[in-house]
Amino acid sequence: MKKKMENWPVLFFLYKKMLKNRVKKALHKPVTYLYMVFVIAYMVLIFGSFRTIFASMDGGESASTLTALLTVFTFFMIPANLISYCKRKGLIFRQSDIHFLFPAPVGPKSILLYAHVKTVMMELILNLVLTVGGVLWFHMPVWKMLAYLLISCVVDNIMEASMMVLCYGNEKLGPKQMGMLRLFLYAVLGVFVLIGVMLYVREGAGFGVVASYLHSPTIQMVPVIGWYIAMLHLLFLGPTVWNVAGTALYFVTVLILFVLAVRMRCVGAYYEDAIKFADDYEEARQRGKKGEVAVVGWKKKYKKASVTYKGSYAKALFYRQYLEYKKNRFFIFGFYTLVCLIIGIGLAVIAYRGQLGEMAPFAILGVMAYLTFIFAGYSGKWGKELTRPYTFLIPDRAFHKLWYATLMEHIRALADGCLITLPTALVLGIPFLQTVLIIAVYICLQACKLYAEVMLEALLGNILGSVGKQFARMFFEGLVIAFGIAGAAVGTFLVSLEVGLAALIIIMALLTAVMMVIASLNFKRMESVA
Amino acid sequence: MLEIKGLTKVYGKYKAADEVSFTVQNGEIGILLGPNGAGKSTVIKSIAGLLRYQGNIYIKGKDARSMEAKKVFAYVPEIPAMYEALTVREHIDFIVHAYHLQVSEEEIKELLERFELWDKQDKLGNELSKGMMQKVSICCALIIRPDVIMLDEPMVGLDPAAIKQLKQVILELKAAGVTVLISTHMLEMVKELWDIMFVMDKGHIIASYQKSCFSMSQKQRAAKKAKSPERMKRNEKENGKLAGAVLPL
């Protein structure tokens, strides 16, 4: 035990230095202060709105609601973590850990705990907020909330860390036994679902059923997770036979798991899996940075395909992208296409029930604007083009390069626009011209979003960070849409809807073209203006 | 001393290392030579304790996975990976803490100056070029004052001055009785360094050469043979039977 404790100063050194340097670096960026203002304002708003929601509750009711909330929180946090530990996943080791930490004379179990501590920070913050919230929103006695904080941050973390060490660090159980453990955990989750289904069948839907589910004694008897929930019930709602038994079982389990984890031999056989996960994580991180959908461990498979290049210079960028998309399993279509299809069908169903009437074109346009404004949508391949030196070496104008690097995105927008519009247009028989104009509006909206993004990339580089750029993008996009809507309103009221839509398209196209010109700076040289 | 006995590493059905055995004595520089995909990295990562394997690896007579062995062992990976939020100096400080070393400020200064890092010690990990990262990685390995050091393709990414410096350091380590193992596929880089050479292909050691057993002309011939692509191809065909100067393992 003493030897294991000797490892902690070095791991503490790592945390301390990394945290200090990160904070120092962040404080040098003005955008950090902007984010801080946002976060504080958000916290104040949340605090105020929650207090209003819970203000009317009396003592007993609020204790019950808090227990139910913490039970839901438990469902989200614990089972997913345990299952990922069984798969020897979930702990994030970076390439630098593999380089410096794994070969060092630091105990493999300490290294596991080092990675674990990195993952519990968010949990600790959430628990702190819940503790403060428990006192201020739910009027719980301070001692109860402090006891909760102690148990959730110390006891529960000992339990989770012990489980993590036993699952990740074990060198005796083979893949079959670990698979069985995973199955057991899935079975535990299955029991929770089953109890819910039984209650639903017996009592029907409603808030009462949710409450009786979350406070059900059966839930509190489910091993480990249920026993933790029993402890929450004992603390906040007072003793019952079930929650006292569950709490006792919980503490005994924590003690047994802790002793087992301390005594278990571990020489670092998990390093190999950790390296694999670190590689996958790094790859996903890099892809995520480029704005792609990145799932850890997910490898993209490509089909065989070919294209005939019908053009030279910058046009080659388009044909190369076309070839890449042809090699994709679903060509240019992805998850977002599915979202558009579902929305299109949903709108058609509402229209079929007669709930849209003459407002249908406006409803479609509203949904389109919302989708464009809020959803990230596709990341597209233009971002990747900017990371490749040959893009800049192609002997063509920057504007051409921008156009051909983003052309495929307009084709995707056309496909999505059709999916959103056509079902409702067919159901309600919207005139052909109006349908075409609505689809064209969607293409303009998407183009506006795209070029606002490329323009900000050219102007700001990494100054605002991805979240800051997202806000800036929304600002410019909103500005263009606002001008467009003003034009559309004038056109519609003075002449007709078709003219209004045409005005919207023209104004948006013109403003987007201005953004395009600025955005083309990105394709001039391999660095942003900023 | 570094001893590898019957090291076997299997990925699914593929044997990346098959019954690999070799020894590098104290004060010797061993070279693990072979084309890409020969299994060198698998052997190296196994020695560093990063992979599960069958067989035994001993560092100074101790199981490579034991803490005692790790304390006297240093490893320079092929691709260095820095902690983004740590400075060059903090990387060194971390290693000093991790290995519980007693190192003076002068020693650190001397080492960093030697690799032209003294004026860059406040740079963060994510601000370094690949070559600089490699230099930091080498400094972190040297500060340990190891008994056994293993370098995976150590010259890749280094400028000529740093390569010269590194070669000098390796010879100094040898003189101090340190066991050195270098993995590479470029014989030219290590031709003036080696004492014993192990040629790997398809997960096997197909040949080993001891410098002390060769006359100068033989050494040159053997080195030429080992690096010639035709020779490598022929070796593959002969499935591990290298004609000429092959010593029994």
pLDDT tens for each residue of A342-377? 999 988 888 888 777 777 888 888 888 888 877 765
Q: Tell if the CB–CB gap between B83 and A14 is shorter than 8 Å.
A: yes
State phi, psi for B54 to the nearest 5 degrees. Answer: -105, 150
Identity of the residue in A6, A17, A107 whose CB atom sits nearest the CB atom of B90: A17
Q: Is the pLDDT of residue B205 over 80?
A: yes
Which residues in B136-159 are b (16+ Cβ under 10 Å) and which e? bbbbbbbbbbbbbbbbbbbbbbbe
DSSP A53: H
State phi, psi for A473 to the nearest 5 degrees. Answer: -60, -45
Mean pLDDT of chain A: 83
* pLDDT bracket for residue A115 (50, 70, 90): confident
- Both tokens of residue A237? 């709602």
* pLDDT bracket for residue A42 (50, 70, 90): confident
Give me the percent of chain B exceeding a pLDDT of 90: 49
Q: Tell if the CB–CB gap between B85 and A18 is shorter than 8 Å.
A: yes
**What average pLDDT does this structure show over A283-312?**
74
Using only C-alpha atoms, chain A has a radius of gyration, in whole angstroms, of 28
Residues A143-154 have pLDDT tens digits of: 999 999 999 888
Weakest-pLDDT range from A115-129, A288-302, A426-440: A288-302
Q: Tell if the CB–CB gap between A10 and B97 is shorter than 8 Å.
A: yes
Closest residue by Cα to residue A412 from A443, A448, A436: A443
Strands B62-63 and B148-152: unpaired
Residue B245 has a pLDDT of 37
Strands B2-11 and B54-59: antiparallel
* Distance from the B84 Cα atom to the nearest Cα atom in chain A, whole angstroms: 8
In terms of pLDDT, which residue wins out, A171 or A154? Answer: A154
Q: Is the pLDDT of residue B152 over 50?
A: yes
In terms of pLDDT, which residue wins out, A386 or B215? Answer: A386
How far apart (Å, rounded) are the C-alpha atoms in residues A62 and A396? 67
Alpha helices in B101-159 (DSSP H): 105-114, 130-143
Q: Select the residue from B75, B76, B91, B94 to test the A interface by mutation, using most A Cβ atoms within 10 A.
A: B94
Tokens 């079929």 -> residue: A352
Q: Which residues does chain A have within 8 Å of residue B99's beta carbon, measured at their own beta carbons?
A: 104-105
Burial class (CB in 10 A: 0-12, 13-18, 19+), B106: exposed
Tokens 């070969």 -> residue: A103
Which residues in B221-235 are b (16+ Cβ under 10 Å) and which e? ebbebbbeeebbeeb
**Cβ proximity of B116 and B162 under 8 Å:** yes
Closest residue by Cα to residue B138 from B39, B69, B31, B130: B130
Q: Is the pLDDT of residue A57 over 80?
A: no
Residue B243 has a pLDDT of 33
Q: Tell if the CB–CB gap between B86 and A21 is shorter than 8 Å.
A: yes
Angle between helices A156-169 and A59-86 (to 10 degrees): 10
**Cβ proximity of B166 and B138 under 8 Å:** yes
For chain B, the residue count is 249
How far apart (Å, rounded) are the C-alpha atoms in residues A413 and A442? 7
Q: Is the pLDDT of residue B246 over 50?
A: no
**Cβ proximity of A69 and A178 under 8 Å:** no
Residue B117 has a pLDDT of 92
How far apart (Å, rounded) are the C-alpha atoms in residues B147 and B142? 10
Q: Tell if the CB–CB gap between A14 and B94 is shorter than 8 Å.
A: yes
Residues B103-150 have pLDDT tens digits of: 999 999 999 999 999 999 999 988 899 889 999 999 999 999 999 999
CA A135 to chain centroid: 30
- List C-alpha distances in Å: B2 to A271, B7, B31, B79, B212: 21, 13, 12, 23, 19
Mean pLDDT of chain B: 84
Closest residue by Cα to residue B179 from B195, B155, B190: B195
Kindly state whether A95 is in contact with chain B, defined as any CB-CB distance less than 8 angstroms: yes
Q: Is the pLDDT of residue A8 over 80?
A: no
State phi, psi for A426 to the nearest 5 degrees. Answer: -70, -45
Q: Is the pLDDT of residue B249 over 80?
A: no
Residue B92 has a pLDDT of 93
Residues B37-83 have pLDDT tens digits of: 888 989 999 999 888 899 999 999 999 988 899 999 999 998 899 99
**Cβ proximity of B179 and B26 under 8 Å:** yes
- Both tokens of residue A389? 């030196």
In terms of pLDDT, which residue wins out, A1 or A35? Answer: A35
State phi, psi for A206 to the nearest 5 degrees. Answer: 145, 165
CA A268 to chain centroid: 32
- Both tokens of residue B23? 């020894």
**What average pLDDT does this structure show over A53-61?**
64
Residues A178-235 have pLDDT tens digits of: 788 778 878 877 887 787 777 777 766 666 677 777 788 888 888 888 898 899 899 8
* Distance from the B93 Cα atom to the nearest Cα atom in chain A, whole angstroms: 9
How far apart (Å, rounded) are the C-alpha atoms in residues A464 and A444? 26
Residues A455-510 have pLDDT tens digits of: 888 777 666 666 777 778 888 888 888 898 898 888 888 888 888 889 999 999 99
Which of A119-128, A290-299, A513-522: highest mean pLDDT? Answer: A513-522
Within 10 angstroms of residue B18's Cβ, the number of other Cβ atoms is: 16
How far apart (Å, rounded) are the C-alpha atoms in residues A140 and A144? 7
**Cβ proximity of A197 and A212 under 8 Å:** no
Q: Is the pLDDT of residue A245 over 90?
A: yes
pTM check: above 0.80: no
Q: Is the pLDDT of residue B187 over 90?
A: no
Residues A408-433 have pLDDT tens digits of: 989 999 999 999 999 988 888 888 89
Largest pairwise CA distance in chain A: 85
Q: Tell if the CB–CB gap between B71 and A105 is shorter than 8 Å.
A: yes
**What average pLDDT does this structure show over A332-342?**
87
Give me the percent of chain A exceeding a pLDDT of 70: 90
